């Protein structure tokens, strides 16, 4: 008997047949009927939308409960002396950059409840709007001085939300947050970083996408804790392709973008859309908005990089090189007319090379043909393949978005035109700019003055009709506008500051790539070194005391100014060697700007230097609570713990310091020394080798590595390292003695 066959032929119960039929029909409903038609589609929609949304929400709530993630708005709520306020969010940049290299805005604070006598202005932009290289003298701060002097009965709150390397994608998000705080006016100075900033064609950060909605979705996703978790995993997976150290403009050397690159069209479209949306945000918040075109150094900033046209043949390239070389020879000989003819001949073969256009501009300038020079300088900027300067198309977009919209409270300031009108022969150069786009004090004053003239026209009636009692009944707007010198005095722009700014520009910009790749850079370095040497007279004890008196006087006028207190503290501690007086300034800042890590870090440093180690540790821990990625606070913690003999804690923080700032030379030296004392020679050697990857020209690291290798018995390697140290620092008696002791 075939058992299988008899079973398969057995008659099934009727309800079993129904089950089979229902399963074939698509399943059972709660009532026992099949789910068909619209109910089936509803079930599917719920399964692919509502269920994932609930899971997402559950995970989001869980992450927030356990404290994962960070606040993502440009401003965060804080409290000062019992008053609810809003302040800068040092973690805002974490949404757009890796944490350890994210930039941040300068500290600010304003009350949550806006007083009736207050006119609130938000300045939005990138490093040029921030005021780099010294934000204490940015155009926003000068603008506030002008407004406050002109209308002394009005409290002008001017909040600058700007930082290096950002662009309109970031500022759009910042504008949304600012709109919650009863703004009266937005001032937007933006456009230099559209190509190199996040989501640009030449960025090293978040990559470009042609789909703006996709970019915005990704930015919005990072406001959630789930999105931050996903981003964290993604960054870990792509760590090799993500910058781990902030190297400024040098990071973009491999990201050249030609003027005819089709990706630029996407960049321009995104920029225009973002500006339009920023204007709509301002309009919905009932605030006025001023868009400014952006200026750049045409005459004294050669292109950062040049590329030939892609279709150039080898034969054409050789001919071009020959003519170009001849042109350089004639230019260097001072025969500018002949040089220009040769450059023009080269341009007939290939006119896409940015350096060629700049050399032509220089020749025309030398021949006093200024219109031709200007055309060539502009073309050189357009063809520069490291696009750190806003090109003509960027400014055209700004004009298009803002022009003719006065009825909508959208206004245009043609700052680029103002710079031209205040430059020799209409070509902006080092008279207004430190380097490529960052304005010197005169340039910032001019920009502030240009914005002021427009802002004054759109101020509400009460401020404009204000009468200043001290002026004998005259209207405030009859007073002359604050001069450049008056603004400098109010902001304490001292001779000490002039020296420091020049030093920083020379060493942080002009002597570093990509500036070192430019034409005529050696000449500029030489000029600036001479200027810096001339400014050294302001470091004399008498001059420093005069600068301190200027700061003290400015603080008496406006004691709540964060920048005045901060810089005065720096002057006292670093140059006047008066740490106790500096502590007083930093304690004021810690009390009135408790959300900022900077004052706590300085107090931690000074407390450690004075031997108050427990205080130093407490201050540095507070700085790290606010800003966990602040490498200097980790270093100073390591130093304090080391002095207390708590070596394991010390090593922990030294490791963290070099992890966050791999160029922190002193952390490597201290860490290597501690590991050596603990007998951990392999780790000490590894630490020194890692340091030399980032600091190959540091003689101390070579010296320490040589000593460690000798201790391990690697005499030849030790001698090699010590010789390297001596080549870097040939005057070091210590290195020479150690080397001689090992050799002989």
Q: Would you say residue 34 has pLDDT above 80?
A: no
pLDDT tens, residue by residue, 184-219: 999 999 999 999 999 999 999 989 999 999 999 999
User: With contact defined as beta carbons under 8 Å apart, do 588 and 565 qualify?
Assistant: yes
Rounded to 5 degrees, what angle do the CA atoms 184, 187, 188 make?
A: 140
pLDDT of residue 466: 47
User: With contact defined as beta carbons under 8 Å apart, do 360 and 344 qualify?
Assistant: yes
Distance CA(242)–CA(232), nearest Å, equals 12
Q: Select from 160, 125, 204 the least CA-distant residue to 438.
A: 125
pLDDT of residue 27: 47
pLDDT tens, residue by residue, 421-435: 999 999 999 999 999
pLDDT of residue 462: 62
The pair of three-digit structure tokens given for residue 446, joined into one six-digit string: 């001019």
pTM recorded for the entire structure: 0.90
For the chain, what percent of residues have pLDDT higher than 70? 92
Using 50, 70 and 90 to split pLDDT, how confident is the model at 140? very high
Phi then psi dihedrals of residue 696, to 5 deg: -65, -20
How crowded is residue 74: how many other Cβ atoms within 10 Å of its Cβ? 24
Rounded to 5 degrees, what angle do the CA atoms 474, 480, 481 make?
A: 125
Distance CA(57)–CA(552), nearest Å, equals 54
Instruction: Cis check for the bond before 514: say yes or no (omega within 30 of 0).
Output: yes
| Burial of 624 from C-beta contacts in 10 A (0-12 / 13-18 / 19+) | buried
The secondary element (H helix, E strand) that includes residue 226 is helix 225-237
Phi then psi dihedrals of residue 290, to 5 deg: -115, 120
pLDDT of residue 46: 76
Strand arrangement, sheet containing 288-292: 155-162, 118-125, 185-189, 288-292, 410-413
Strand arrangement, sheet containing 75-80: 75-80, 83-88, 109-111
Rounded average pLDDT over 590-603: 96
Using 50, 70 and 90 to split pLDDT, how confident is the model at 8? very low
Distance CA(601)–CA(607), nearest Å, equals 10
Instruction: List, in order, residues 6 or more apart from 388 with CB less than 8 Å away.
Output: 192, 193, 196, 249, 252, 304, 436, 437
Rounded average pLDDT over 631-657: 97
Taking CA atoms, 531 is separated from 18, 78, 379, 525, 534, in Å, by: 96, 44, 30, 10, 5
The pair of three-digit structure tokens given for residue 259, joined into one six-digit string: 């003027």
pLDDT tens, residue by residue, 234-291: 887 776 667 778 888 999 999 999 999 999 999 999 999 999 999 999 999 999 999 9
pLDDT of residue 480: 84
DSSP character at residue 6: H
- Alpha helices, H only, 350-414: 354-366, 370-383, 392-402
Distance CA(318)–CA(72), nearest Å, equals 54
DSSP character at residue 204: S
What is the C-alpha end-to-end distance of the chain, expressed in Å? 103
How crowded is residue 350: how many other Cβ atoms within 10 Å of its Cβ? 18
The secondary element (H helix, E strand) that includes residue 86 is strand 83-88
pLDDT of residue 743: 84
How crowded is residue 169: how many other Cβ atoms within 10 Å of its Cβ? 23
Rounded average pLDDT over 565-570: 98
| Burial of 83 from C-beta contacts in 10 A (0-12 / 13-18 / 19+) | exposed
Taking CA atoms, 603 is separated from 552, 581, 613, 636, 644, in Å, by: 20, 12, 11, 11, 18
Using 50, 70 and 90 to split pLDDT, how confident is the model at 467? very low
Instruction: Cis check for the bond before 133: say yes or no (omega within 30 of 0).
Output: yes
pLDDT of residue 529: 97
C-alpha dihedral sign at 318, 519, 373, 253: positive
Q: Would you say residue 646 has pLDDT above 70?
A: yes
pLDDT of residue 41: 74
User: With contact defined as beta carbons under 8 Å apart, do 529 and 549 qualify?
Assistant: no
How crowded is residue 543: how many other Cβ atoms within 10 Å of its Cβ? 18
DSSP 3-state of 430:
coil
Beta bridge mates, 187: 123, 290
Domains and CATH numbers, the chain: 3-65 (no CATH), 81-254+262-299+391-462 (3.40.50.1110), 314-383 (1.25.40.10), 549-743 (1.25.40.10)
Using 50, 70 and 90 to split pLDDT, how confident is the model at 464? low
How crowded is residue 426: how many other Cβ atoms within 10 Å of its Cβ? 15
């Amino acid at each position: 008997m075939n058992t299988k066959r008899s079973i398969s032929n057995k008659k099934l119960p009727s309800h079993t047949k129904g089950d089979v039929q229902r399963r074939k029909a698509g399943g059972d409903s709660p009532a026992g009927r099949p789910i068909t038609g619209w109910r089936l589609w509803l079930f599917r929609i719920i399964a692919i939308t509502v269920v994932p949304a609930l899971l997402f929400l559950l995970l989001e709530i869980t992450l927030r409960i356990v404290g994962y993630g960070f606040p993502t708005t440009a401003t965060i709520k804080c409290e000062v002396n019992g008053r609810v306020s809003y302040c800068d969010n040092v973690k805002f940049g974490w949404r757009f950059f890796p944490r350890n290299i994210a930039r941040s805005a300068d500290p600010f604070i304003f009350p949550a409840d806006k007083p009736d006598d207050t006119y609130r202005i938000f300045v939005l932009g990138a490093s040029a709007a921030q005021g780099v290289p010294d934000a204490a003298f940015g155009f926003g701060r000068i603008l506030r001085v002008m407004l406050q002097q002109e209308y002394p009965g009005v409290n002008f709150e001017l909040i600058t939300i700007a930082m290096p390397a950002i662009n309109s994608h970031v500022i759009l998000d910042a504008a949304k947050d600012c709109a919650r705080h009863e703004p009266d006016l937005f001032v937007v100075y933006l456009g230099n970083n559209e190509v190199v900033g996040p989501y640009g064609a030449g960025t090293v950060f978040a990559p470009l996408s042609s789909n703006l909605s996709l970019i915005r979705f990704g930015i919005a996703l990072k406001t959630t804790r789930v999105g931050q978790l996903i981003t964290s995993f993604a960054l870990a997976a792509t760590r090799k392709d993500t910058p781990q150290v902030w190297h400024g403009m040098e990071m973009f050397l491999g990201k050249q973008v030609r003027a005819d690159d089709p990706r630029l069209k996407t960049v321009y479209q995104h920029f225009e859309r973002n500006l339009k949306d920023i204007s709509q945000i301002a309009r919905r918040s009932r605030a006025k908005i001023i868009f400014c075109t952006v200026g750049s150094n045409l005459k004294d900033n050669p292109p950062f990089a040049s590329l030939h046209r892609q279709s150039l043949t080898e034969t054409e390239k050789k001919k071009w090189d020959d003519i170009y070389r001849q042109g350089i020879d004639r230019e260097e000989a001072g025969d500018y007319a002949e040089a220009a003819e040769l450059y023009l001949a080269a341009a007939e073969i290939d006119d896409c090379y940015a350096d060629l256009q700049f050399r032509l501009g220089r020749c025309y300038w030398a021949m006093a043909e200024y219109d031709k020079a200007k055309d060539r300088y502009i073309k050189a900027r357009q063809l520069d393949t490291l696009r750190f300067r806003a090109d003509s198309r960027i400014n055209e977009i700004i004009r298009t978005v803002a022009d003719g919209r006065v009825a909508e409270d959208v206004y245009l300031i043609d700052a680029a035109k103002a710079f031209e009108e205040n430059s020799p022969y209409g070509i902006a150069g080092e008279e207004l700019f430190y380097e490529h786009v960052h304005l010197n004090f005169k340039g910032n004053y001019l920009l502030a003055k240009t914005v002021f003239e427009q802002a004054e026209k759109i101020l509400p009636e009460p401020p404009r009709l204000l009468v200043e009692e001290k002026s004998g009944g005259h209207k405030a707007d009859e007073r002359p506008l604050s001069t450049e010198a008056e603004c400098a005095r109010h902001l304490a722009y001292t001779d000490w500051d002039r020296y420091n700014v020049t030093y920083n520009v020379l060493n942080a910009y002009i002597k570093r790539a990509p500036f070192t790749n430019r034409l005529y850079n050696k000449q500029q370095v030489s000029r600036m070194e001479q200027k810096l040497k001339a400014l050294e007279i302001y470091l004399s004890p008498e001059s420093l005391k005069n600068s301190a008196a200027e700061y003290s006087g400015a603080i008496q006028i406006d004691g709540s100014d964060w920048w005045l207190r901060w810089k005065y503290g720096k002057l006292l501690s670093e140059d006047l060697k008066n740490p106790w007086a500096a502590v007083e300034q930093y304690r004021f800042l810690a009390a009135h700007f408790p959300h900022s890590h900077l004052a706590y870090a300085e107090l931690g440093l000074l407390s450690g230097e004075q031997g108050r180690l427990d205080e130093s540790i407490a201050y540095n821990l507070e700085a790290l609570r606010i800003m966990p990625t602040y490498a200097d606070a980790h270093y100073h913690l390591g130093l304090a713990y080391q002095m207390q003999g708590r070596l394991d804690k010390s090593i922990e923080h030294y490791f963290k310091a070099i992890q966050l700032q791999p160029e922190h030379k002193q952390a490597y030296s201290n860490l290597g020394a501690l590991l050596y004392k603990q007998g951990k020679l392999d780790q000490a050697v590894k630490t020194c080798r890692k340091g030399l990857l980032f600091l190959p020209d540091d003689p101390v690291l070579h010296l320490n590595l040589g000593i460690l290798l000798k201790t391990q018995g690697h005499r030849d390697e030790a001698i090699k390292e010590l010789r390297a140290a001596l080549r870097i620092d040939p005057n070091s008696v210590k290195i020479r003695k150690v080397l001689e002791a090992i050799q002989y």
